[in-house]
Amino acid sequence: MLIVDDDPDLCDLLSEYLAANGLTVAAAGDGAAMRQAMARQMPDVVVLDLMLPGEDGLSLARELRARSEVGILMLSARGEEMDRVIGLEVGADDYVAKPFSPRELLARVRALLRRTRAATTAATPVAIPERYCFGPFALDIAAHRLLRDGLEVHITTAEFELLRVFVERPNRVLNRDDIIDLLKGYDRDPFDRTVDIRVTRLRRRIEANPSHPTYIRTVRGEGYLFTPLGAQVRQ
């Protein structure tokens, strides 16, 4: 991970603490040093101070998001809501107001690492044929149809796209953020329950008992898991 802050004492403190907890840490005092550090090694997470000499943290966060999917955690001595909102809008993943405890920062960095690594894994689809079969179903990618025992099942475009996300990533847990990112044209809203509603509707199309799904299973506290073998997995 990379810490970008013009306070050398804070950089030293955080670097020592985070390294002692198993993270590889580099530090930079401004935008130019950040770019040099990233040219040497691309970090998984950048902890970025909002108030920096020269280029501020918001402009650097915007630049980082335009060039990569690196996790961005912003720091600010000002805890104003507008700063936080603008930081998130330009692409930051999380926000911590100073003063903060190193333990809190470590917890947030670890959570961000889990999310970014899971998203990277989730984003990679497996190669599937134009007609993907599971149980009595066949998802015809080219024709944009779902068949059951050769007969077409009525399915909306939204349900088709969601099912395609699942079949391209079998046996992987996808959380709501993963699914939102993978559904093209979908606007992110942390309080939006549309993903859950789509899953419920899709289950009605493909599950023998939607209340006890076997193809699209809920992994409590994690997300959804598509298992092509369905009920066979539970036996």
- Please state the domain extents for the chain: 2-123, 131-234
What one-character DSSP code corresponds to residue 40? H
Q: Looking at domain 2-123, which CATH architecture does it have?
A: 3-Layer(aba) Sandwich (3.40)
Please state, in angstroms and rounded to a whole number, the distance separating the CA atoms of residues 34 and 86: 21
How does pLDDT run across 147-194, given as a tens digit for each residue? 999 999 999 998 999 999 999 988 888 888 788 878 755 544 444 578
The conformational region for residue 221 under phi > 0 = left, psi -120 to 50 = alpha, else beta, is left
Highest-scoring range by mean pLDDT, 49-63, 65-79, 104-118, 153-167: 153-167
**Mean pLDDT, range 18-44, rounded to an integer:** 90
How does pLDDT run across 191-228, given as a tens digit for each residue? 457 888 999 999 999 999 999 999 999 988 888 999 99
**Mean pLDDT, range 50-61, rounded to an integer:** 88
Q: What is the pLDDT of residue 190?
A: 47
**134 pLDDT tier (thresholds 50, 70, 90):** very high
Please state, in angstroms and rounded to a whole number, the distance separating the CA atoms of residues 163 and 179: 11
**In contact, 48 and 75? CB cutoff 8 Å:** yes
The count of other CB atoms within 10 Å of the CB of residue 215 is 23
Report domain 131-234's class: mainly alpha
The count of other CB atoms within 10 Å of the CB of residue 34 is 24
